[in-house]
Structure 1
């Protein structure tokens, strides 16, 4: 399927690995030129080289923290007029809510609510003027299904979702869409870290805990960054211009609801 994205320009935040990289690769496969971002220069440069070699698109790298104004400035200096923005960022570590002090809560809200809103503020009007824009926010299944210890991440991402529910509708008539992808249990470093943490607390093996968690998922497995990226690319495509303000679960059926 031709996604109608050849020659489009995309900023993909936190994209040197994991779900961000999956999105970057899928957009590159669709013909987009990229600005990718991370904190580890070596990993970021390696990712960029591999994407260039595989897909033949332009890939610029920005080593920066997207939660800072300086990081956002650097991303937009590398791509002043993006057609696509994929907001992604690391979340606060798993922690009992009683252990969260004010500074930790502020940092979590900056990471997972304020920073993506700031990026949207800076690109959405330009997209509207040019008549095309696709904004994807990678949030989490925890927006709908709370998970123990991820309360801060869940709350900040839910705040982002509610904030943008009205904003997205002000741009729909100018071919700019804003949608959220809600990953469930995906085979990423973050998930593996959680498995290792549980293993350390329970004395079980990481493999046994992983198999038990997969058994709870109707699909019977964890998701992959590659398939997540392809879903992202579709919602960025010219075919998805009539879809906005949606929260798309990518969870193998884990969230048990009809609506």
Structure 2
């Protein structure tokens, strides 16, 4: 299938490892000029050097000027992005009883504010061109809040609400807005969550991982490449009638429709 991404520009946030890196590689393979970015500038440049028409940028999206600096560097290199992939690490695991105002602010700083800023910068050019793709890497906690991830549940739900509202407002302009929800994808973040659950439950991380995999109908964690393939489709031309939705790539983990 031709995803119609040749000649397009894609900005993929937090793409120096895990899901973000896999999405950047998938979009570059489809012919998009791709911006790889993250706090590890050397890693961003290393990944970009191995991809066609790609640029690696060191940026801290939590810094006050981080989103604007990233967007401006993208425009300087390739022009306004046609595809914006919102991605980033979630807050530390923890229970709802431990949530306070300070931790809520930190959660929103990580999961909402930089993404809203990037959308506000990228959206005008997308609407003017009549074509754009905004895709956020979410969490299955949006559909079914996860235990011991209270701050992640809070922050990611806020982003989902914003994007769902936005999708209806810009659909007629040729801009789609979607979320892609991972279940248990084999990443460093998943390993960290497993380790936190192990400490809380008195089990080993390996025991937690085995129990988690057993609860997934396909019987294993997903790969970043499997997730990125779905992301690339949602960012492509054939997905022009898919907007305002949360698509799951979770191996059947969530049992509701």
TM-score class, shorter-chain normalisation, is over 0.9
Q: Secondary structure at the match of 1:79?
A: helix
Q: Give the direction of change, closer, same or farther, for the CA distance of 1:23–1:222 in structure 2 (3 Å limit).
A: same
Q: Which residue is equivalent to 1:75?
A: 70
Distance, in Å, in 1 between the alignment partners of 2:233 and 2:137 is 14
Structure 2: 5+ residue runs without aligned partners?
Answer: none
Q: Which residue is equivalent to 1:243?
A: 242
Q: Secondary structure at the match of 1:5?
A: coil
How far residue 29 of structure 1 moved from its aligned partner, in angstroms, is: 0.8
Q: CA RMSD in A?
A: 1.5
Stretch moving more, 82-91 or 159-168? 159-168
Aligned length, in residue pairs: 253
Stretch moving more, 148-157 or 214-223? 148-157
Kept in 2, the 8 Å contact 1:10–1:83? The answer is yes
Kept in 2, the 8 Å contact 1:13–1:20? The answer is yes
Q: Which residue is equivalent to 2:196?
A: 197
Ranked by relative contact order (alpha carbons within 8 Å, sequence separation 6 or more), the top structure is: 1
Kept in 1, the 8 Å contact 2:45–2:55? The answer is no
- Answering whether residue 19 of structure 2 is matched by residue 24 of structure 1, we say no
- Answering whether residue 43 of structure 2 is matched by residue 43 of structure 1, we say yes
- Deviation readout 1:193-220 (Å, 9 max, x if unpaired): 1222333444544333212110100111
Q: TM-score, normalised by structure 2?
A: 0.93
Q: Give the direction of change, closer, same or farther, for the CA distance of 1:155–1:78 in structure 2 (3 Å limit).
A: same
Kept in 2, the 8 Å contact 1:35–1:78? The answer is no
- Deviation readout 1:121-177 (Å, 9 max, x if unpaired): 111121010121000011100011111121111111111111222211121112110
Stretch moving more, 38-47 or 57-66? 38-47
Kept in 2, the 8 Å contact 1:83–1:134? The answer is yes
Q: Secondary structure at the match of 2:112?
A: helix
Q: Give the direction of change, closer, same or farther, for the CA distance of 1:61–1:131 in structure 2 (3 Å limit).
A: same
Stretch moving more, 7-16 or 189-198? 189-198
Distance, in Å, in 2 between the alignment partners of 1:8 and 1:97 is 42
Q: Secondary structure at the match of 1:153?
A: helix
Q: Which residue is equivalent to 1:145?
A: 144
Kept in 1, the 8 Å contact 2:184–2:221? The answer is yes
Q: Secondary structure at the match of 2:168?
A: helix
Q: TM-score, normalised by structure 1?
A: 0.93
Distance, in Å, in 2 between the alignment partners of 1:221 and 1:236 is 26
Kept in 1, the 8 Å contact 2:68–2:118? The answer is no
